[in-house]
A and B are shown apart, each in its own frame.
Chain A
Amino acid sequence: MSLQAQLQARVGSFDLDVDLSIAPGEVVALLGPNGAGKTSVLRALAGLLTIDAGRIALDGIVLDEPANAIRMPVEQRPIGVVFQDYLLFPHLSVLENVAFGLRSRGVGRTTATARARSWLDRVGLGPAANRKPGSLSGGQAQRVALVRALATDPALLLLDEPMAALDVSTRVELRRELRQHLESFGGVRLLVTHDPVEAMAMADRLIVLEHGRVLQTGSPAEVTQRPRSRYVADLVGVNLFRGTARQNVITISGGGSLTAVGVTDGDVFAVVHPRTVALYRARPDGTPRNVWEGRATDLDLQGDRVRVRLQGSPSIVAEVTPAAVRELGLDRGDQVWIGVKATEVSVYPA
């Protein structure tokens, strides 16, 4: 079971232009900041959003193709959706909620109830069958929402921020559980989230979405080691630069330059981990090839590290120990010298 989707749509104030595909067997997470259009992509795949152009095909069957006037209505699509707030029908019991999809598709009451009950037993919620959704805890509600979506044996399972409605303490345990369920599900699975930890914990592949466009796709490791957007870089916590390389010198768009090692000429991304950025009171006289002046605009204590935001050519974030800050007598607004070794600049083609 695979999914190929190209979709363009105008959503509110921005345009969505997404090309994504999900191969059989992989769990994909659509990751991006709030407002990137992730939920819109999910809604488009579900059929709740009208696309202006493109083609959505699930296992070869075309669900949506405006050019050929093909538009399968939502209720006919073989999908299961777990919504962010779960949206369990408050006036129906848990059992009726889970059986809803089956009954709507014409399955008889007895059969539907029996199947719903077995699903509930699978997630350990058999005893809660006759309760109303309002009396469930967050974790229980999530499980009910999941089995409600799975009960109709969908070909495509869409999950919209499945952990968002839960408090942090329940999240870790439920994440593992959800991962297990996802793995045992045979169809196509797409998870939408803004939480990178969630994405990396549950998905085999990440698709990074920003401003309605796919910026990057790859395994969690690839994406985090080689970020191609500020958003991901910030998520991972590295400094990301974009510029043109010529003979190991990268001219950064936005000002400044960095010297690196073994760089092929052309358009490149350069990553510098804050840990490798050194700060000096006076201009250092030593091996680092990259030395320039900057002004500390922000000092942020994070655990046992201090993140120092530096404005300069280029601007950069350094991570130092609190002791170092004390020794340097570093304060907001101070001028300092920044040093980065050429060997610590990680470069890859843009």
Chain B
Amino acid sequence: MALPQPDGRRPAPAPVPFVILAGAGATFFVLPLLGLLVGAPWRSAWVLLTSSEALTALRLSLIASLSATAIALLLGVPLAWVYARVSFPGRAILRALTVLPMVLPPVVGGVALLLAFGRRGLLGGWLADVFGIHLPFTTPGAIVAVTFVAMPFLVITVEAGLRSMDTRFEDAARTLGARRWTVLWRVTLPLVRPSLVAGTVLCWARALGEFGATITFAGNFPGRTQTMPLAVYLALESNPQSAILLSLVLLLVSLAVLVGLRDRWLGTS
């Protein structure tokens, strides 16, 4: 059976078992969303959603996830560049450590953060004494927790993009007189834009959904550290209806961004 192609090419013949498996895969993702839509208490939706708790949690989630993404871009892109272009002793180990938050259970990540930045942590005590910076149980702490978990997604994606790009373009730019910074801004980064965008989106999405590290490191306090996922988890115990609605909000916000991005930005056109 032939399927239409997105860019208008002639349809590609697809083996039937593949289509069936693909359909099963799609159902796997669509059903939970449908479940949420069906189980949501639509009548009390407006009241529940515009309650201050829900809006506060949403606001906090957006602040934390966007800040985390910004930090990830600022620190992660240079890191990705170093991994992709510079070889130095211990690079493999450092890179493995960077990927670690992706495979660690988030709660374990939270504990690690406490041991590093907590009151009695490696750096935390010093930060508190010298700069008066306290991270646990604060909004900045929530941002740190979320960044820790989400940044590796950006680093890995951008690194892959940098590795697979043709570095000869950078040579060409240099022969034309471009200095390093110009090469980076006008040639390298534009050429890896699909990876940059994909990495940023992945990072933001992961940051938005982060729970374990946040509740362990930053704790849970409405208005300060209670992000949406935490609000959902707690609401599930006392007010499941509210929990469903909050989950839907989170899901729809994420969906809106992902759909809005489309192929154009992800470079497949």
Interface residues of A (CB under 8 A from B): 46-48, 73-77, 79-81, 83, 85, 87, 89-91, 100-101, 104-105, 148-149, 152
Q: Is B169 in contact with chain A by the CB < 8 A criterion?
A: yes
Q: Please name all residues of chain B whose beta carbon is closer than 8 Å to the beta carbon of A105 when the two chains form the complex.
A: 177
A100-B186, A104-B182 in contact; A89/B177 too (CB < 8 A)? no
A90-B191, A100-B186 in contact; A75/B178 too (CB < 8 A)? yes
Would B169 and A152 count as touching, CB distance under 8 A? no
A89-B187, A90-B191, A91-B190 in contact; A101/B171 too (CB < 8 A)? no
Q: Please name all residues of chain B whose beta carbon is closer than 8 Å to the beta carbon of A47 when the two chains form the complex.
A: 174
Closest residue on chain A to residue B169 by CB atoms:
A87
Would B177 and A152 count as touching, CB distance under 8 A? yes
A48-B174, A81-B172, A87-B169 in contact; A75/B179 too (CB < 8 A)? yes
Q: Please name all residues of chain A whose beta carbon is closer than 8 Å to the beta carbon of B171 when the two chains form the complex.
A: 46, 48, 74, 83, 87
Q: Which residues of chain B (159-180) have a CB below 8 Å from chain A?
A: 166, 168-169, 171-179
CA distance A89 to B169 in the complex (A): 7
Contact of B177 (CB < 8 Å), options: A75, A85, A87, A90:
A75
Q: Please name all residues of chain B whose beta carbon is closer than 8 Å to the beta carbon of A83 when the two chains form the complex.
A: 168, 171-172
A87-B168, A104-B182 in contact; A46/B191 too (CB < 8 A)? no
CA distance A76 to B182 in the complex (A): 13
Contact of A104 (CB < 8 Å), options: B166, B179, B193:
B179
Would B168 and A100 count as touching, CB distance under 8 A? no
Q: Please name all residues of chain A whose beta carbon is closer than 8 Å to the beta carbon of B168 when the two chains form the complex.
A: 83, 85, 87
CA distance A81 to B172 in the complex (A): 7
Closest residue on chain A to residue B190 by CB atoms:
A91
Contact of B175 (CB < 8 Å), options: A80, A89, A91:
A80
CA distance A89 to B166 in the complex (A): 11
CA distance A91 to B193 in the complex (A): 10
Closest residue on chain B to residue A79 by CB atoms:
B175
CA distance A101 to B171 in the complex (A): 12
Q: Please name all residues of chain A whose beta carbon is closer than 8 Å to the beta carbon of B175 when the two chains form the complex.
A: 46, 48, 74-75, 77, 79-81, 149
Would A100 and B173 count as touching, CB distance under 8 A? yes
Closest residue on chain B to residue A74 by CB atoms:
B174
Closest residue on chain B to residue A90 by CB atoms:
B191
Q: Please name all residues of chain B whose beta carbon is closer than 8 Å to the beta carbon of A149 when the two chains form the complex.
A: 175-176
List, sorted by A's number, 27 A–B pairs whose CB atoms are closer than 8 Å: A46-B175, A48-B171, A74-B171, A75-B174, A76-B177, A77-B175, A79-B175, A80-B176, A81-B172, A81-B175, A83-B168, A83-B171, A83-B172, A89-B173, A91-B190, A91-B193, A100-B173, A100-B186, A101-B176, A101-B177, A101-B178, A104-B173, A104-B177, A104-B178, A105-B177, A148-B176, A152-B177
CA distance A101 to B176 in the complex (A): 4
Least CB distance, A60 to chain B, in whole angstroms: 21
Would A152 and B176 count as touching, CB distance under 8 A? yes
Would A100 and B178 count as touching, CB distance under 8 A? yes
Would A104 and B169 count as touching, CB distance under 8 A? no
Closest residue on chain A to residue B189 by CB atoms:
A91
Least CB distance, A11 to chain B, in whole angstroms: 16
Closest residue on chain A to residue B171 by CB atoms:
A48
CA distance A97 to B262 in the complex (A): 28
Pick the most buried of B166, B174, B186, B191: most chain A CB atoms within 10 A of its CB: B174
CA distance A180 to B179 in the complex (A): 32
Would A104 and B172 count as touching, CB distance under 8 A? no
Contact of B176 (CB < 8 Å), options: A48, A90, A91, A100:
A100
Q: Which residues of chain B (131-188) have a CB below 8 Å from chain A?
A: 166, 168-169, 171-179, 182, 186-187
Q: Please name all residues of chain A whose beta carbon is closer than 8 Å to the beta carbon of B190 when the two chains form the complex.
A: 91
Least CB distance, A99 to chain B, in whole angstroms: 10
Q: Please name all residues of chain A whose beta carbon is closer than 8 Å to the beta carbon of B182 when the two chains form the complex.
A: 104
- Interface pairs A-B: 9 shortest CB-CB: A101-B176, A104-B178, A87-B172, A74-B174, A81-B175, A105-B177, A104-B177, A91-B190, A75-B174
Least CB distance, A40 to chain B, in whole angstroms: 13
Closest residue on chain B to residue A145 by CB atoms:
B172
Least CB distance, B62 to chain A, in whole angstroms: 31
CA distance A85 to B176 in the complex (A): 16
CA distance A54 to B31 in the complex (A): 70
Q: Please name all residues of chain A whose beta carbon is closer than 8 Å to the beta carbon of B176 when the two chains form the complex.
A: 80, 100-101, 104, 148-149, 152
Q: Please name all residues of chain B whose beta carbon is closer than 8 Å to the beta carbon of A73 when the two chains form the complex.
A: 174
Q: Please name all residues of chain A whose beta carbon is closer than 8 Å to the beta carbon of B166 when the two chains form the complex.
A: 87
CA distance A42 to B229 in the complex (A): 58
CA distance A73 to B179 in the complex (A): 9
CA distance A149 to B179 in the complex (A): 16
Least CB distance, B173 to chain A, in whole angstroms: 7
CA distance A75 to B186 in the complex (A): 15
Closest residue on chain B to residue A83 by CB atoms:
B172
Would A91 and B178 count as touching, CB distance under 8 A? no
Least CB distance, B150 to chain A, in whole angstroms: 27
Least CB distance, A188 to chain B, in whole angstroms: 15
Least CB distance, B154 to chain A, in whole angstroms: 21
Least CB distance, B190 to chain A, in whole angstroms: 5
CA distance A104 to B187 in the complex (A): 11
Least CB distance, A39 to chain B, in whole angstroms: 11
Least CB distance, A33 to chain B, in whole angstroms: 22
Closest residue on chain A to residue B175 by CB atoms:
A81
Closest residue on chain B to residue A76 by CB atoms:
B177
- Besides A75-B178, A87-B166, A105-B177, 5 other CB < 8 A contacts? A74-B175, A83-B172, A100-B178, A104-B173, A149-B175
